Chain A
Amino acid sequence: MYGCIESAFLWYETYITVLKEMGFVLNAYDKCVANANIDGSQCTIVFYVVDNKISHKNEKVLTKIINKLEEHFGKLEVSRGREHDFLGMRIKFVGNEVYISMKDYLREAIDMFPELTNMKITWPAKKDLNEIDNKAEKLTKNKRELYHSIVTKLLWVMKRGRPDIETAIAFLCTRVKKPDVDDWEKLKRLLCSLNKTINDVRVIGANSMDICIHGLTQVLQYMTI
């Protein structure tokens, strides 16, 4: 039942029992990744409580697994194709790359902020990002709560779709308890820069299993994994 504190754990136990019965094996490093070898290829399910992503080379295998799950849990809400919404991300498969956009989330955060200007800012933070003036005036309760709410929202976005704001968010997160007017200005700058770059998407992809491409549409970087 929703609201009871054991519910999440009981659901997890129920769900993995069903997956194991269906022949899936949980990954040793991540207990929310389950794999099974079906028709000579790997089928992977990753799940975040009730939201699931399933993948396999053959579309028919996906249908078969979903049908089996529906026997246990009733009608599932399924999205197929090359574009999906998952955990607040708009995911689009293009060739051997994945485009991850969180535009809606960013728009919500930007709209929540009352003092946004049309400043032409492209960098999310200035050099003085980590400097703290202890004498600076603290924010009022309302502004403090808004600051906390927006920073938390952006933390979620940063981890998934906008790694370029990580430095700014890492600092702003340390200030949520007692933010001051300087922190408010830093958040404002970050939001202005996001407003200008809201259409940027994160692109991840691989051209071999050794090299991973990651970055935004503006800048592509190479990283060995």
Chain B
Amino acid sequence: MMTVRKGIRFYGEAAIIAIFNEYKQLKDLELFGEIKDEDLTPEVKMNALRAINLIKKKRCGKVKGRTVANGRPQRAYVSREEATSPTVSTEALMTTLLIDAYVGRKVAIFDVPGAYIQANMPMDKFIVRKIEDEFVDIMCKVNPQYKKQIRNERRKKVL
């Protein structure tokens, strides 16, 4: 896992395509809504989660882009119970593998691409996310209607 800038140095065009596809996926899933700058209070702007853009080369060799929010500020106002989820225990996994082999079951492995962006967000919750620099251009290329919302903050292009 590396930043996009480093990713472009390593993987060239494949990294650019990967991050573009990631933004396109976010657009296709209608993950973002628009909030006008004048509707945001200074406090909301300050607490907006910055976008972190990453590039990862998977074990299969595919270069994958991933844009994530920097959720660190949320630690201050999200309880621990709401911020953890269980995972299967190693013991349960080994036991089910053993039973699969013993009973002669057919097995399939699958993963859900973009799972977190398909998670149901309660209607009363939304996150203000800040996109900066060259990623603003990518976002606007994916969805040109965001162009009118581009602002400058401390000499940085911000969406």
Binding site for B on A (CB under 8 A): 1-15, 17, 27, 29-33, 44, 46-59, 62, 66, 69, 73-80, 84-87, 91, 93, 95-98, 100, 104, 159-160, 204-206, 209, 212
A206 touches B98 (CB 8 A): yes
Contacting residues, chain B, for A2 (C-beta < 8 A): 66-69, 116-117
Which stretch, B6-14, B106-114, B133-141, B143-151, touches the partner chain A? B106-114
B119 touches A14 (CB 8 A): yes
Contacts A2-B68, A97-B101, A209-B102 given; indicate if A77 touches B88 (C-beta within 8 A).
Answer: no
Contacting residues, chain A, for B66 (C-beta < 8 A): 2
Contacting residues, chain A, for B97 (C-beta < 8 A): 53, 91, 98, 100, 204
For B82, give its contact among A9, A15, A44, A87 (CB under 8 Å): A9
Closest Cβ–Cβ distance, residue A219 to chain B (whole Å): 18
Binding site for A on B (CB under 8 A): 31, 49, 52, 59, 66-71, 74-75, 78, 82-90, 92-94, 96-121, 127, 129
Closest Cβ–Cβ distance, residue B139 to chain A (whole Å): 14
28 A-B contact pairs sorted by A residue (CB < 8 Å): A2-B116, A4-B69, A4-B74, A8-B83, A9-B83, A13-B120, A46-B92, A50-B111, A51-B109, A51-B111, A52-B110, A53-B108, A54-B108, A54-B110, A57-B104, A58-B106, A62-B106, A69-B110, A74-B113, A75-B113, A77-B110, A80-B107, A84-B109, A85-B109, A95-B101, A204-B97, A205-B98, A206-B102
